[in-house]
Amino acid sequence: MMVSYVSALLYVAGGIVVVGMALLVAFQEKLVYVPVLPGFTKSYPITPERLRLLYEDVWLTSSDGVRLHAWFIKLLPDCRGTISRELSPSLLTTDIAHRLEMVRIMLQRLQCNVFMLSYRGYGASDGFPSQHGITRTPRCLPSSHFVSLVFLSFAALDHLVQSKDIDTSRIVVFGRSLGGAVGAVLTKNNPDKVAALMLENTFTSILDMAGVLLPFLKWFIGKSSSKGPRILNFLVRSPWNTIDIISEIKQPIIFLSGLQDEMVPPSHMEMLYAKAAAHNRQCLFVEFPTGMHMDTWLAGGDYYWRTIKEFLEKTVPDKKDTDSSRRGKFSQRQSDLLGSGV
């Protein structure tokens, strides 16, 4: 009887492994990349023009010939009086049409330019998303634009640093969720081009997220939180091991964590911060108690924008600012937070 019971358990375990392998091989890209959000269409529901934003259509071509679509949204001249756009920071992002309302407020609160790019397979961009494809560099570039803060893509970064009419020393990468994983790699690989990194609700790795999305897989796959032998790790084509990359980044990093995140466990952001802070003294961790995965910027309200603005002012200051105490330093409030490990 005992032998039969053990045999049955082995068959069940074997079946779970087989099912898990089949799911990973067949559907893993659909779990990692979501070009179309539920309830939306792949076409852009709104454009910058509808929000009366000054913008430019930009098309990049990757090294394998895939065309990528971007919007360069410029700070309106009357937003900063006599201060020119060329001296303002700028941001680059993905999933662009669904973030326009955030970008509109971002321009107002942070006084920056924004470069938004759709990953391959997202929005109007051609191709299919993959880690290998997203990290390709562009083969050809359009004419130069203004810029300085950035929401991510390798192609977009190369486009920005070749611009002649922006302050390329003030390029900052901003990434949420998958964008944070891409942003970490981008920042780590370009220490001379990226001045700082902003991560919001980002996961430690896709290997760990597999166990979050499909709980039974946590016994067979994982990076930081696996409870089993991790025998399925080799099947993951887009691992995005942010937990490994983050400790190699030397630039300032701010971690923005929504504690009500329903997709990525907030513990992932805590682990990323701990790993980064062990090697980088310029790390700041900020929690937003009511923030969910996509609305932390909204739930955080004024505190969210003030925190980011102060971080940017201290880490990528305007060159016109001659006060040496402001350059490359955190405020006393930030220093206190860093010292206390918050």
Active site residues: 177, 261, 326
Residues 6 or more apart whose Cβ sits within 8 Å of residue 199? 175, 176, 180, 183, 184, 253, 254, 255, 256, 269, 272
- How many Cα neighbours within 13 Å face the side chain of 220? 20
Identify the sign of the CA torsion 165, 197, 317, 311. positive
Amino acid at 150: V
**Ramachandran sector of residue 240 (left: φ over 0; alpha: ψ -120 to 50; beta: rest):** left
Residues 335 and 342: their CA atoms lie apart, in Å, by 10
Strand partners, 56: 72
Helices (H), the chain: 2-32, 100-110, 131-134, 154-161, 178-189, 206-213, 242-245, 266-277, 296-299, 301-315, 332-340
Q: Please, what's the largest Cα pairwise distance for the chain?
A: 86
CA–chain centroid gap for 116, Å, is 12
Residues 6 or more apart whose Cβ sits within 8 Å of residue 79? 107, 108, 111
Residues 218 and 230: their CA atoms lie apart, in Å, by 8
User: What are the φ and ψ backbone dihedral angles of 293, each rounded to 5 degrees?
Assistant: -60, -45
Strand partners, 283: 253
Whether 329 contacts 314, CB under 8 Å? yes
Looking up tokens 């009086």, which residue turns up? Answer: 81
User: Which candidate, 308, 329, 334, places its Cα nearest to that of 317?
Assistant: 329
CA–chain centroid gap for 313, Å, is 20
CA–chain centroid gap for 54, Å, is 24
